[in-house]
Structure 1
């Protein structure tokens, strides 16, 4: 999955989901990589945090190589729920990386470790609570408005984090590849002097819209085979 995603991006995956009618589940804005340029693609390994690291250690015991630990800390901004030891242990369990609906700490150590970690940012304070554990602690993780389980895949890069049903990943990545190829050709032509307006027959679009106000640019792009918008 990582190799198939290597030359793609989360925006391309998002556009592919829209094109195929796959539910678009993006992490809330602001989730970013601790290590610049980090990328992730793999099966979701969910875990809900209740104040103790034990839930992560338990999740690692069930991890498969290449899994991505998806941590539900409720989007809290008053505590960091992971640090260097949690991330080192993830590497020891062959986990590909972590995405956190919350904060991290030990930033210099995480940068040195190099395992991809995505979160809202850093906080020096660790948890001082131990909340009651839910039965779903290791079966689903909430991430923003989305529920994520082992039946999902995770994609993450500089533009954010997406969750896609695992049984739709192959089709989504194939479609994303097609969009990528179309857009790269459009970019090449712009650099060669053929504007995007020329490529998309923008004048023809304006004329048709004048005659039919319901005619949208997205419909026009679909008719001519352009990408840009879905």
Structure 2
């Protein structure tokens, strides 16, 4: 678990977005690990933040129940169902049991079902979509089924944190959480100041001295806008 507890983690993320976190990862030189864009909240506007609780699904819910045995309050169940589109692997009973176990949300690399009941339960669930049928297969559970979960291109372990909002889900190593959150808050504050100045009549081009950037780029074609922004204290790209 990161140095901050689950409540502090959720409190800080409540004033941020996943976009702030990804920009902060770039600034901190931490790999940006976004779940595929198809993975979205079942209920629009839902947010989640917590330590990843991985589980690899092979056709039966028992792997989730086993994961809940070791769950800590605020954990986020991260389900690896290989991104399958032929079966749903999480339904209302798993969501309800997750809530009972103190889990703060579920992220599924795959499909869910029982959408109406999940909405009623209110536990944040993120998935790639819904399908009425559950699994019609039972496969052998690998020994490391509770050690890691693959989501898109990324392998997620209990050393990671999961954050989700209207823009999707991003995973951040617990060891980098404090730095990433600090940077995200700084980026958020800079962007808010820039937005306020735009509304007051000072264009973004004026704020970031865009004319100076164009002149400098003519002298040095390799100069990037990101390098210029860092020099002038802008935050539009990170």
Q: TM-score, normalised by structure 1?
A: 0.99
Q: CA offsets, 1:144-167, max 9 Å, x none? A: 111111111001001011111101
After superposing the two structures, state which structure 1 stretch, 140-149 or 172-181, moved more. Answer: 140-149
- Separation in structure 2 between the aligned mates of residue 54 and residue 195 of structure 1, nearest angstrom: 56
* Residue correspondence of structure 1 range 160-199 to structure 2 within 5 A: 160-199=168-207
Structure 2 residue 32 is matched with structure 1 residue 24? yes
Structure 2 residue 161 is matched with structure 1 residue 157? no
Partner of 2:89, secondary structure, is strand
- Separation in structure 2 between the aligned mates of residue 205 and residue 59 of structure 1, nearest angstrom: 52
Partner of 1:131, secondary structure, is coil
- Separation in structure 2 between the aligned mates of residue 174 and residue 85 of structure 1, nearest angstrom: 37
- Separation in structure 1 between the aligned mates of residue 216 and residue 58 of structure 2, nearest angstrom: 57
Corresponding residue number in structure 1 for 2:22: 14
- Separation in structure 2 between the aligned mates of residue 216 and residue 6 of structure 1, nearest angstrom: 32
Corresponding residue number in structure 2 for 1:98: 106
Partner of 1:147, secondary structure, is strand
Q: In structure 2, which of residues 203, 206, 210 is the aligned counterpart of residue 202 of structure 1?
A: 210
- Separation in structure 1 between the aligned mates of residue 43 and residue 201 of structure 2, nearest angstrom: 37
- Separation in structure 1 between the aligned mates of residue 216 and residue 62 of structure 2, nearest angstrom: 62
Q: CA offsets, 1:47-93, max 9 Å, x none? A: 00000000000001110000000000000011000000000000000
User: Which runs of 5 or more structure 1 residues have no equivalent in the other structure?
Assistant: none
Structure 1 moving runs of 4+ over 6 Å: none
- Separation in structure 2 between the aligned mates of residue 2 and residue 222 of structure 1, nearest angstrom: 29
Q: In structure 1, which of residues 102, 107, 113 is the aligned counterpart of residue 115 of structure 2?
A: 107
User: Which runs of 5 or more structure 2 residues have no equivalent in the other structure?
Assistant: 1-8
* Residue correspondence of structure 1 range 78-97 to structure 2 within 5 A: 78-97=86-105
- Separation in structure 1 between the aligned mates of residue 123 and residue 197 of structure 2, nearest angstrom: 37
Q: CA RMSD in A?
A: 0.6
- Separation in structure 2 between the aligned mates of residue 8 and residue 193 of structure 1, nearest angstrom: 26
Partner of 1:121, secondary structure, is coil
Per the TM alignment, residue 195 of structure 1 is displaced from its structure 2 partner at its CA by 0.5
